[in-house]
C-alpha cells in the first residue's frame, strides 16, 4: 500500500494522494478517508472533495493551517482494509433507440457483440460513483464490463445532448449539460441528475451504487417532456 502524500494547495487546502493507479480498492480507501474526515470534523474543516486516487481537504486558514490539518488527517488514515463505503443504490433510466444511441452500432462492431448484447452488458454491470468532475453533476462511474471497455474516440464531437449515456475504458457517465465528448454514446436518459435543490443539487453521492434500467421510447419521451408518471 502506497504511503499517503500531502501537498499544500494555496493557503486553504491540502491534497491527500493515496496512490497512483485507479482501481476499486484505492477509490474505496479514498472514500473511507473522506467519511472519516467528515465524521471527525477537524477544526477549520470546510469541505472535502474525493476523487479516484486522492482527496482535497479545504479549510479556513484563519482557524487552522496545513500542518495542523495534515496531522489531523494522518490520524484518520486506515490500514487499507477492503471494506467499501455503503452508498445508496440509485436508478438511472436509459433508452437505447438508434437516434439516442449514435455509437451503439460502432461499439457492437468494435467489441464483436450484437447491439442487444452490448445493451445487456451495460445493464447487467454494477456501477459505483467514484468522483465528480469536469462539469456540474458530471459523475464518473466505475464498473463498465471488460467486454465494453473501449478507448475514447480520436476526436471529440460537439453539442452532445444532456442525458447522453457514455462509456470509455472502465468508466460510464450521464451528461448533465449539452457539451462535447469523445466517449461512446450508447443511450440517453431522462433521469434528472442535476437538480434544482440547494441542499442536494446532484442525484448521486460519491460511493453510491448506480443501476441502469431500460425504458422504451414512449416512456423516454414522456419523461423527457416532464411527465413523471
Same domain for 67 and 99? no
Residues 6+ apart with CB under 8 A from 158: 180
Q: Mind listing the pLDDT tens digit for each residue in 154-166?
A: 999 999 999 999 9
Same domain for 104 and 212? yes
Domain range spanning residue 168?
A: 89-224
pTM recorded for the entire structure: 0.80
Q: Mind listing the pLDDT tens digit for each residue in 111-137?
A: 999 999 999 999 999 999 988 888 888
pLDDT attached to residue 82: 54
In-domain check, residue 211: yes
pLDDT at 227 over 70: no
In-domain check, residue 104: yes
Same domain for 132 and 48? no
In-domain check, residue 21: yes
Q: Mind listing the pLDDT tens digit for each residue in 42-94?
A: 999 999 999 989 999 999 999 999 999 999 999 999 865 555 556 799 999 99
pLDDT above 90 covers a percentage of the chain that reads 76
Same domain for 22 and 133? no
Same domain for 126 and 68? no
Same domain for 97 and 188? yes
In-domain check, residue 81: no
In-domain check, residue 106: yes
Amino acid at each position: 500500500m502506497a504511503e499517503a502524500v500531502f501537498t499544500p494547495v494555496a493557503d486553504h487546502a491540502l491534497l491527500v494522494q493515496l496512490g497512483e493507479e485507479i482501481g476499486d480498492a484505492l477509490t474505496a480507501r479514498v472514500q473511507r478517508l473522506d467519511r472519516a474526515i467528515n465524521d471527525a470534523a477537524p477544526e477549520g474543516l470546510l469541505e472535502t472533495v474525493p476523487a479516484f486516487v486522492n482527496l482535497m481537504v479545504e479549510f479556513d486558514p484563519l482557524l487552522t493551517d496545513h500542518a495542523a490539518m495534515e496531522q489531523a488527517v494522518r490520524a484518520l488514515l486506515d490500514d487499507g482494509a477492503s471494506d467499501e463505503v455503503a452508498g445508496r443504490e440509485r436508478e438511472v433510466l436509459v433508452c437505447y433507440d438508434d437516434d439516442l444511441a449514435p455509437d451503439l452500432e460502432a461499439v457492437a462492431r468494435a467489441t464483436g457483440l450484437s447491439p442487444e448484447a452490448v445493451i445487456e452488458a451495460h445493464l447487467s454491470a454494477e456501477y459505483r460513483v467514484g468522483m465528480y468532475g469536469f462539469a456540474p453533476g458530471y459523475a464518473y462511474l466505475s464498473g463498465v464490463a471488460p467486454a465494453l471497455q473501449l478507448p475514447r474516440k480520436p476526436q471529440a464531437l460537439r453539442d452532445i445532448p444532456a442525458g447522453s449515456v457514455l462509456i470509455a475504458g472502465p468508466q460510464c457517465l450521464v451528461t448533465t449539460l449539452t457539451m462535447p465528448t469523445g466517449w461512446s454514446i450508447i443511450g440517453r436518459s431522462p433521469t434528472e441528475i442535476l437538480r434544482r435543490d440547494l441542499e442536494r443539487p446532484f442525484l448521486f453521492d460519491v460511493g453510491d451504487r448506480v443501476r441502469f434500467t431500460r425504458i422504451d421510447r414512449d416512456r423516454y419521451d414522456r419523461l423527457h417532456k416532464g411527465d413523471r408518471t
